[in-house]
Copies of this chain bind each other. A is one copy, B any other.
Amino acid sequence: MKALLLTEYKNLEVTDVDEPAVGPDDVLVQVEACGICGSDIHGYDGSSGRRIPPLVMGHEAAGNVVRTGENVTDLKPGDAVTFDSMVSCGQCDFCRSGHQNLCDNRMVLGVSCGDYRRHGAFAERISVPRRIVYRLPDGLPLEHAALVEAVSVAVHAANVTPITLGDTAVVVGAGMIGLLTIQAVRAAGASRVIAIDINDRRLKVAQDVGATDVINSSQVDAVQTVIQMTDGRGADVAMEVVGMTPTVQTAIESVRKGGCVTLVGNVTPTIDLPLQSVVTREIRLQGTCGCNGEYPQCIDMMARGIIDVRPLITQKITLAQGPEWFDRLYKGDPDQMKVIVCPQT
């Protein structure tokens, strides 16, 4: 079958690879859509150390069942499905206490590091264990379903945040995850969502997906604006979706005493934290990582239109266009959010 193979760092080729093996508990899926993730781009040049060539990358996918292993009785050819990008072990303390996202032994599809290699979904077909597969409801386009991983990050972030009905939420950063987070905190009860970014085009999309107010922090003092908008009080919660000192500080100073700042972004290893402000105002900073079992809920919310991913899909490409688009995204393209590879086109 055809696949997009990382033959060496910074070199992708569309080539023929072996059909994947289908074990007794596996499902063979014909991939219709697979999103290019930021982690794929980081793997492309070897900087993450987690995509050692040769490797087929790709873990954000949806498609149709081709056939199933002998132990799989509840799926049949033609069923529309998506699957978890992450496989947790089910045995460690974290898995047993219901925190699969913190699993000590998790493995990711489309990744290779050291002695571990698991080919991904930038290919015509992929074989995955039944227990990470989710059937899709009628009417949910496969290219939307391919974004469930991104949606689940935003939904998990909202779930770990103490939101009360009618709260005011600030979302700092209106990139792809930020735009989904805006939708997630609205769905979780925030009646006012203030989006902060430095890019007016993103802020326009933010309004389209449900932000009630937007602030361009390159033009005005974002913290002061939030304080004014909330009659001097500050927001109840803030979602930080960037991960740098200025944005984290904006999030912290935007919330009221007793508020919560949920930390989603982490591009910087270390930041400057205003400790006294956090302590004397009794702020909670809540790290959040990946998702924890929220796929079924995310699929349901996408099918019902509660979360709308359409504004985030900026491009659909063929396998053949893969090398060119990886190169373009690697160099940076501020106009792109999610690029979807459609291996059957």
Contacts and interface: CB of A to CB of B under 8 A. Distances in A.
Interface size class of A (residues with CB under 8 A): 35 or more
A265 B99 CA distance: 30
B270 A274 contact: yes
A323 to B, nearest CB: 30
B270 A272 contact: yes
A275 B241 CA distance: 12
A51 interface: no
A287 B287 contact: no
Nearest to A188: B189
Contact of A266 (B188, B233, B279): B279
A155 B165 contact: yes
Nearest to A98: B98
B282 A285 contact: no
A100 interface: yes
Given A160-B282, A165-B301, A282-B289, 7 more contacts: A188-B188, A212-B304, A265-B279, A270-B273, A271-B275, A279-B289, A285-B285
26 contacts: A90-B90, A90-B91, A90-B96, A94-B258, A98-B99, A99-B257, A99-B258, A101-B282, A102-B257, A155-B165, A155-B166, A158-B165, A164-B297, A165-B188, A166-B296, A187-B191, A189-B189, A212-B304, A263-B278, A264-B279, A270-B272, A270-B274, A271-B273, A273-B273, A279-B289, A280-B287
